[in-house]
Amino acid sequence: MPSFTSLLAAVAALAPLGAFAAPAPIPEPENWDVSISSEIKAFISNPTAKNIIANRYIVAYNTSFTEDEISATEFSISSAIQKRNLGKRALDGRQMSGFMSSMKFDSGARFSAFDGDNSMLATLAKDKTVAYIEADARVQAAAFVTESGATTGLGRISAAQAGSTDYVFDDSAGQGITAYVVDTGVFVDHNEFEGRAVMAFNAINNVDTDENGHGSHVSGTIAGKTFGVAKKANIIGVKVLDAQGGGSNSGVLEGLQFVADDATKNGRSGKAVMNMSLGGPASRAINAAVKAIAAAGVVPVVAAGNENQDAANVSPASSPDAITVGAIDQTNDAKASFSNFGADVDIFAPGVDVESVGITAKDATDTLSGTSMASPHVAGLAAYLMALEGLTDVAGVKARMTELATATGATVKRNTRGTTNLIANNGAAAGAAAPGAGAGNGTAPATPAAPATPAPGAGAGNGTAPATPDAGAGAGAGSGTPIPAGLPAATDAFWKTAIGSALATLMGINV
């Protein structure tokens, strides 16, 4: 049987190259659960997916073929849809687009997104250059609005147990690290960002700011001067969600390609993190793109999702190449009732009643709950550790986070069986804080201590987690690290004990 490419060769000769422009925005259908007809279920890799976009598909290409062969297929698709979609409406009533978007990553992953009818899909499924086809699906920001009981969550990141309001951190504070925020955009003029935030990509519209507030809140938790875990990191806004917090997998893919390309072009590989506080049904294409992001030297951190279900059902949460973050109530370390769970969750962080940046004024704040709020705590922590310890990849960052979290002895309460009990921590609580750590409500020390040799057992970058990730204290992170400057008086007893243990170790005495 002739390939899809050869069947459309005649049409391709008539098509302008402009067909590769981005598709028109997709209006939100009244009913997200558009059913997939039985006629096409055999041709797509996600036939049971919810919240699909009718008649819109993502093609992943078989990279064993040459670039020219794949480009020929893309060109044929682009040519065909200009003719076939003219005046045609999708099952949800919207006008089908005659344009196709194309995404290509340096790792080799390659995708196209387009509107198509059933007969076109059936023909395309037989093309040898096509690895698989997905029905495009809606994604949504993973947050809930709350109005009272706000906390920053920062105290929990540097304390061994729940309840602390002091944030202890090193004055390096993520300096030199860039955080890509794939979300609703960023209100870059907010005072919290101190000129360290920019908008750089927009897959939604021509409004290059945050029309929802979700992305700005997330960015504030990563790098805000008051609310941020990594207070000196830079923020790059990648807008893939609209004013209602919704978007599509195809739009997310475009945003991810921008992240990979920008990091490579601007020398940010090994010096960047990416936060995705969004989710949709499990997607091979999204997970493959996250893998490409990691290969580009950007550490992907993603929200586990808010459906109280197995994160394996969600993307990007199910990506093995990301750090997937569940939510706890930071006041008692209990798993948040909404948080997803399962083997794909790597770590937990504060996600209930978290205060951060708002968008109604340059000094506005907002309080939100969700794994969307937990993920940026860990993205900020990743940036912090990368700046402090020279970590450069997701394996090294994940291993170090596992080590530091294990050392505190804290575990998630009321957790779901088969899910990690690790709670994100920057190491200050276990005496593993780096030299120069400051204390107190997010204020860095005026005079940081001089650098010293990293503590034994730091293990940065070896990619190996402890055999028992949810074990108590005693994982050995940080013994021998100098006492951080500026610690509050309440911790004096702890440090006296730590000093005694360190001296005893040096003298060969068992304690």
217 in catalytic set: no
- So what's the pLDDT on residue 150? 60
Same domain, 107 and 200: no
Same domain, 419 and 367: yes
Selected catalytic residue, list 136, 170, 183, 353? 183
In angstroms, how far is CA 439 from the centroid of its own chain? 28
- So what's the pLDDT on residue 500? 38
183 in catalytic set: yes
Domain end residue (candidates: 138, 161, 176): 138
Domain containing 220 equals: 142-490
| 259 contacts 293 by C-beta, under 8 angstroms | yes
Nearest of 252, 238, 243 to residue 199 by alpha carbon: 238
Same domain, 48 and 190: no
Alpha-carbon distance of 278 to 245, in angstroms, equals 9
Same domain, 128 and 189: no
Same domain, 70 and 181: no
Same domain, 171 and 297: yes
Beta strands 234-239 and 272-276 are unpaired
- So what's the pLDDT on residue 159? 87
Same domain, 304 and 451: yes
Same domain, 102 and 237: no
Nearest of 491, 469, 481, 478 to residue 161 by alpha carbon: 491
Compute the chain's Rg from CA coordinates: 24
Same domain, 183 and 325: yes
Same domain, 241 and 132: no
Q: Which residues contact 216 (CB under 8 A, 6 or more apart)?
A: 184, 185, 186, 187, 190, 210, 356, 357, 358, 359
In a domain, 497, yes or no: no
| 325 contacts 376 by C-beta, under 8 angstroms | no
Selected catalytic residue, list 76, 216, 372, 375? 372
Count: domains in the chain: 2
pTM for the model stands at: 0.78
214 in catalytic set: yes
Using CB atoms within 10 A of its CB, is residue 416 exposed (0-12), middle (13-18) or buried (19+)?
middle
| 26 contacts 57 by C-beta, under 8 angstroms | no
Q: What is the 3-state secondary structure (H, E, C) of 55-84?
A: EEEEEEECCCCCHHHHHHHHHHHHHHHHHH
Alpha-carbon distance of 93 to 328, in angstroms, equals 41
Within 13 Å of residue 233, how many CA atoms lie on the same side as its CB?
A: 39
In a domain, 500, yes or no: no
Nearest of 144, 122, 127 to residue 73 by alpha carbon: 127
In a domain, 508, yes or no: no
In a structure prediction context, what are the per-residue pLDDT tens digits for the chain, which is 511 residues long? Answer: 444 443 333 333 333 323 233 334 444 333 333 445 666 788 898 988 888 898 899 999 999 999 999 999 999 999 888 888 888 888 888 888 888 999 999 888 999 999 988 888 888 888 999 999 999 999 999 776 655 566 678 999 988 888 888 898 999 999 999 999 999 999 999 999 999 999 999 999 999 999 999 999 999 999 999 999 999 999 999 999 999 999 999 999 999 999 999 999 999 999 999 999 999 999 999 999 999 999 999 999 999 999 999 999 999 999 999 999 999 999 999 999 999 999 999 999 999 999 999 999 999 999 999 999 999 999 999 999 999 999 999 999 999 999 999 999 999 999 999 999 999 999 987 655 443 333 333 333 322 333 333 333 333 333 333 333 333 323 332 323 332 333 333 333 333 333 333 333 333 333 2
| Three-state SS at 405 | helix
Same domain, 114 and 262: no
Selected catalytic residue, list 214, 242, 366, 369? 214
Q: Which residues contact 88 (CB under 8 A, 6 or more apart)?
A: 95, 96, 117
- So what's the pLDDT on residue 428? 84
